[in-house]
Amino acid sequence: MRVMSTNHILEARQLVKRFDDFEAVKGIDFVIERGESFGFLGPNGAGKTSTMRMMSAVSHPTSGSITIFGLDPSEHGPEIRGRIGVVPQEDTLELELSVRQNLEMFGRYFDLSRRVIRERAAELLEFAQLSERANDKVDDLSGGLKRRLTIARGLINRPEFLILDEPTTGLDPQARHLLWERLYRLKREGVTLAITTHYMDEAEQLCDRLVVMDRGAIVAEGTPRDLIARHSSREVVELRFGTDSHEELHSRLAPFAERIEVLPDRVLLYVDRGDDVLQQIHSAGVAPSSALVRRSSLEDVFLRLTGRTLVD
């Protein structure tokens, strides 16, 4: 029976994934709407990849339920996977084959006809800006090009829902921006995106809505702006000191900010108006070796919620 509840692409309830005695996902709930781009932000080991694998109808939940396109993946796995595109964290490309052959092979997995595969391969090569490398062996491509090919491959079945696991990890900034641009394009075309990342700038750039994950649980959910408004201040003053004891700094700086985080290499002051506070600190005779005022980011949200930084 189809339970096509309005616009939900995916619904997860009390989702748990356990491996032997390790619980990777600890009962999480979330809903992904059609056409949105939904993010999972969290450090390595937060349970993002395990969640992704359940979302792509590959692995089965230990308990709880998940429906994708209103279908139960334990019964309709092949059908669901036929409508999803997956870009795994590792490229999993066939290194011995050419760029084009990789796309064609994958097309066969979806039972597309030769003619359709040929057309889409040409289209996707264009999309991924790989047309000129179409006949090169994948082994000879740079990391960024391989990544683009993996994304193109995930689109061969024209998925309604594209799942990307850490799409830009290990890429240089230029390659990242190109990928982001391609993902915006897909979104404009109506593809629903789910993205895991441990880069807060990526989450801010790409995601309409996201959940923050930590140790297998969801600790917050909302739009990036929402999350920042709810869990952080408007601005942050970052101070670095030479060798001063941070304990002592904490008490000296406390009066100036709503909240203070003392990290090994810097002190963060959560404030409304950064420049004013910086002035006051200077007048009070505190002399940091460097000072920076910036807007609050998801990194701060994460720090607030978990007491840890995203990239350790």
The single residue among 3, 5, 65, 90 that binds another protein, judged by CB under 8 A, is: 90
Of 101 and 205, which CB lies nearer to another protein in the complex structure? 101
Nearest Cα to 104, choosing from 89, 126, 133, 125? 125
Tokens of 13: 């309830």
The count of residues in the chain is: 312
The amino acid that residue 273 corresponds to is R
One-character DSSP codes across 221-275? EE-HHHHHHHHS-SEEEEEE-SS--HHHHHHHHGGG-SEEEE-SS-EEEEES-HH
| Shortest CB 283 distance to another protein, Å | 59
| Shortest CB 196 distance to another protein, Å | 15
What is the rounded distance in angstroms from the CA atom of residue 73 to the CA atom of residue 85?
A: 15
Residue 212 interacts with another protein (CB under 8 A): yes or no: no
First vs last C-alpha separation in the chain: 46
CA 218 to chain centre: 14
The single residue among 77, 131, 205, 229 that binds another protein, judged by CB under 8 A, is: 77
Q: Which stretch binds another protein (CB under 8 A): 105-113, 198-206, 213-221, 282-290?
A: 105-113
| Shortest CB 209 distance to another protein, Å | 24
Residue 109 interacts with another protein (CB under 8 A): yes or no: yes
Quick note: the x/- pattern for another protein over 46-65, rule CB under 8 A, is ----------x-xxx-----
CA distances for 274 relative to 44, 253, 268, angstroms: 31, 13, 11
The single residue among 3, 5, 29, 96 that binds another protein, judged by CB under 8 A, is: 96
Q: Which stretch binds another protein (CB under 8 A): 63-71, 73-81, 125-133, 175-183?
A: 73-81
Residue 37 interacts with another protein (CB under 8 A): yes or no: no
CA distances for 307 relative to 14, 16, 219, 225, 299, angstroms: 25, 24, 12, 20, 11
Of 60 and 295, which CB lies nearer to another protein in the complex structure? 60
- What is the sign of the dihedral through the CA atoms of 181, 203, 229 and 209? positive
CB within 8 A of 34, min separation 6: which ones? 7, 8, 9, 160, 192
Residue 93 interacts with another protein (CB under 8 A): yes or no: yes
Residue 106 interacts with another protein (CB under 8 A): yes or no: yes
Of 157 and 232, which CB lies nearer to another protein in the complex structure? 157
Of 96 and 258, which CB lies nearer to another protein in the complex structure? 96
Of 108 and 185, which CB lies nearer to another protein in the complex structure? 108
The single residue among 43, 82, 144, 222 that binds another protein, judged by CB under 8 A, is: 82
Query: Which stretches of the chain bind another protein, using CB under 8 A?
Result: 19, 56, 58-60, 77-79, 81-82, 84, 86, 88, 90, 92-97, 101, 105-106, 108-111, 153, 157
